Amino acid sequence: MGRIKKDYHELDELIARWNLSESDLRYVVENGKLPLSVRIYAQPMELGSYEAEDWGQMPVPYHQGTFDGVADLLRFDIYRLFLEGEVMASEFSLPNGDYASLLNPAEARSIKRANLVVREDARLEFEQAVLGTLSQVEPEKPDFRRFSYAGRIWNFTEMQARGMLFLFEAAKSGDPEQHFRKILDAAHSGSDKIAHLYSSRRDWTKVILKAKGRLGWYFMEPSLVVAMSR
């Protein structure tokens, strides 16, 4: 989880830690087992609670002003985000059950997968209630977004790092050579070539190698596998 104590974590960071499949993620999120949040920066918002009436819940505002913090996405917005890739959200839920809504709904922000975070308290509750005890959570996996290898620092994007983690785990399991389609799927990439996925890194071919005699198959540089296993 890193050395810095955080109030929230990037969703993809936790998915890698939990070794959670995309279908399992959608299931726990859509069924309210894992709230997903976004970081909101200095937005004019209305905060309020709800009072029970005969006809249902009535919103009762108690504050209007600048909001800066983490708020949960509503479940129907989460569903749309997974379905369409992004969602325009103007209403949110706070951890205590209150609501937070933009004073001007026309300023609704576009939220994508990369913007999603998980509150620390939600992480703990999910690991304890859904994944079991914390000791049963998968050991922390190597972070291929930034690492030291061959005497230098390497930097990759989140998507690129997911592809590298896939190759790393394939090598550890004894099946290092993988077809490029599986690598792209593991990275959640819309690219149709490995070279496109790693186009921002000219030296990517030093750590991801082509399999001899197998067109479209790749494997991770063995010495990197060893280095990242320590």
Joined together, the tokens standing for residue 229 give: 């296993």
3 pLDDT band, cuts 50/70/90, is: low
Position 133 pLDDT exceeds 70? no
What is the distance between the alpha carbons of residues 28 and 159, in angstroms, rounded to a whole number?
Answer: 22
Neighbouring residues of 159: CB distance < 8 A, sequence distance ≥ 6: 187, 188, 189, 197
pLDDT in tens, 100-121: 999 998 888 899 999 999 999 9
Helices marked H in 85-136: 120-129
pLDDT in tens, 173-222: 999 999 999 999 999 999 999 999 999 998 999 999 999 999 999 999 99
Grade residue 52 by pLDDT with cuts at 50, 70 and 90.
confident
Q: What is the mean pLDDT of the chain?
A: 89
> Does domain 146-228 match CATH 3.30.450?
no
The CA-based angle 222-228-229, given to 5 degrees, is 90
How far is residue 41 from each of residues 68, 94, 182, 214, measured CA to CA in Å?
5, 15, 37, 49
d(C-alpha 204, C-alpha 217), whole Å: 15
* Alpha carbon distances (Å) from 88 to 28, 105, 137, 164: 22, 10, 33, 32
Query: Would you state the pLDDT for residue 69?
Result: 92
Split at pLDDT 50, 70, 90, the class of 65 is very high
Q: How many Cβ atoms are within 10 Å of 140's Cβ, its own excluded?
A: 10
Instruction: Break the chain into its structural domains and give their ranges.
Output: 8-136, 146-228
Above 60 in pLDDT, residue 229?
Answer: yes
Distance separating alpha carbons of residues 36 and 175, to the nearest angstrom: 34
Coil, strand or helix at 228: helix
Look at residue 136 and tell me whether its pLDDT is greater than 60.
Answer: no
